A = this chain, B = another copy of it.
Amino acid sequence: MDTFILHEDPCSGNCYKIRLTAALLGLPIERRFYDIRKGETRTPEFLREVNANGRIPVLQIGEGAAARFLPESNAACWYLAEGSALIPDNRFDRADMLRWMFFEQYNHEPNVATLRFWLSIVGEGDLSDAQRGQIAAKRAGGEAALALMDEHLASRDWFAGDRASLADIALYAYTHVGEEGGFRLSDYPAVRAWLDRIAALPRYVPMD
């Protein structure tokens, strides 16, 4: 089996998704740490050898000359999980899983994750005026995403199909630390119950 190396910053929920997927699948994964606040993913070496987009996470598959690099957290989770129970075997459910993963990157992450980064990691006092001007819109967008998730989970245990899939992992990563972005999870009881179901999965690992 190929060696898996995760290029990551432990404060990133996008990185955690990949680590959680590997853990649930019982796949060993080596970790290489970068501090995004110090620009460690924007060095010429990182841009040349790991990801020209200057972002983490990147899943490295294999080592040396044969190494291949896969950016985008949800694509990396897909690579690891292909052929496993974390991807539904029904065609509609599989596409529906991808639907929630695209929703996560478009409607959820830019709001829920960004407010956590701005408010808990950068700190409100260090934000630019442009960032401060976006807080209200991101708050509204994040609440709308959480409300849609809560409505969906009111009548089902998992996002797609009838068991945990990559859609649940993708949405779990930033939702379960949503309070760090100022989101009150007690407003979303079905989401809270679903978070508990994920944390109870065999081989679950917490975020650092």
> Chain A residues in contact with chain B, CB under 8 A?
52-53, 61, 68, 70-76, 78-79, 82, 91-92, 94-96, 98-99, 101-103, 105-107, 109-110, 130, 133-134, 137, 148, 151-152
Query: Residue A151 contacts which of B52, B61, B82 (CB distance < 8 angstroms)?
Result: B52
Q: A75-B96, A91-B79, A92-B68 are in contact. Are A106 and B109 (CB under 8 A)?
A: yes
Question: Copy number in this complex?
Answer: 2
Question: What is the CB-to-nearest-CB distance from A149 to chain B, in angstroms, rounded to a whole number?
Answer: 10
Pick from A74, A78, A99, A151 the residue with the most CB of B within 10 Å: A99
Question: What is the CB-to-nearest-CB distance from A1 to chain B, in angstroms, rounded to a whole number?
Answer: 13
Query: Residue A75 contacts which of B61, B68, B99 (CB distance < 8 angstroms)?
Result: B99
Residues A76 and B53 in contact, CB atoms below 8 Å apart? no
> Complex Cα distance A74/B61, Å?
25
Query: Residue A106 contacts which of B106, B130, B152 (CB distance < 8 angstroms)?
Result: B106
Residues B74 and A102 in contact, CB atoms below 8 Å apart? yes
Residues A95 and B107 in contact, CB atoms below 8 Å apart? no
> Complex Cα distance A102/B94, Å?
16
Residues A74 and B98 in contact, CB atoms below 8 Å apart? yes
> Complex Cα distance A121/B160, Å?
35
